[in-house]
Amino acid sequence: MSRCTWLAAWGMLSTGPLGCGGAPPAAPPPSAAARQVTAAAQPQPDEPEPIVTSKKVTLRRNIAFMSCHVSFQPSGGDPTADVVAMAQRCADVTGMHAVEPPVAASAPQSFPLRVEAGHCYRVYGVASGTVKDLDVRIKDSRGEVAGQDETNNATPVLSEDGAVCFDTSEQATVEVAIGAGAGAYAVQVWSD
């Protein structure tokens, strides 16, 4: 999801000269890590590099983490059952377990997440068929972005090819927004 779409989903879009309504902003130069990504794993043209502003996290990358969820197809009936099924498919690969029951909703929502130093976290999401883009992100205790999903689909995983690892124990926040469409969704947080 583009920065402008994300801001619009959260109701923070401005059409003034500093907003997203004028000429598109100049793209930042790609980082060294982004240049090393293989062609098969490169984000789509409208998907920016992950925006991580938190100094309290490390993104642990493991391409094997993608294999457990990229082919997942929701049943289309119950997003809560589907998110549990998707996350359980990844348990053996990631070595993670659920830290809380799924959260189900149909509107943008944020909820607290207690994180522990030295532990890594993934957020799994599944939306009903009427939602075309579900977005998730984690913010640290200072409100800085610790990770955000990089896809434009109804089954986001944060992080798509890894996990968000915290350097400090604190109260973080998980934010969920519907980028396109409307309907029910469920998210669940897993950790090592």
Instruction: Kindly write down the DSSP assignment for every residue of 82-99, as one continuous string.
Output: HHHHHHHHHHHHHT-EES
**Four-CA torsion 130, 133, 38, 191, nearest 10 degrees:** -100
Does the pLDDT at position 89 exceed 90?
yes
Residue 96, pLDDT score: 96
In sequence order, the 6+-apart residues with CB closer than 8 A to the CB of 26 are none
Tell me the per-residue pLDDT of 50-74, one tens digit each, with 9 for 90 and over.
578 899 999 999 999 998 888 888 8
Q: Which among 187, 86, 88, 96 is positioned nearest to 135, based on CA atoms?
A: 187
Task: For the chain, give the mean pLDDT.
Answer: 80
The distance of Cα 85 from the centroid of its chain, to the nearest Å, equals 18
Does the pLDDT at position 143 exceed 50?
yes
Q: Tokens 């377990």 — which residue?
A: 97
Residue 49, pLDDT score: 52
Q: Which residues lie across from 189 on neighbouring strands?
A: 123
Residue 72, pLDDT score: 84
Q: Terminus-to-terminus CA distance in the chain, angstroms?
A: 28
DSSP character for 39? G
> Per the structure block, which two tokens stand in for 7?
């801001």
Write a three-state SS string for 107-140.
Answer: CCEEEEEEECCCCEEEEEEEECCCEEEEEEEEEC
Mean pLDDT, rounded, for 94-107: 96
What CATH number is given for 50-191 in this structure?
2.60.120.380
Domain spans in the chain, listed from the N-terminal domain onward: 50-191
Tell me the per-residue pLDDT of 17-55, one tens digit each, with 9 for 90 and over.
344 444 444 444 443 333 333 233 334 434 445 578 899
Q: Which residues lie across from 136 on neighbouring strands?
A: 176
Q: Is omega for the bond preceding 159 within 30 degrees of 0, making it cis? A: yes
Is residue 173 very low, low, confident or very high in pLDDT (cuts 50, 70, 90)?
A: very high
Angle at 124 between CA 171 and CA 74, to 5 degrees: 155
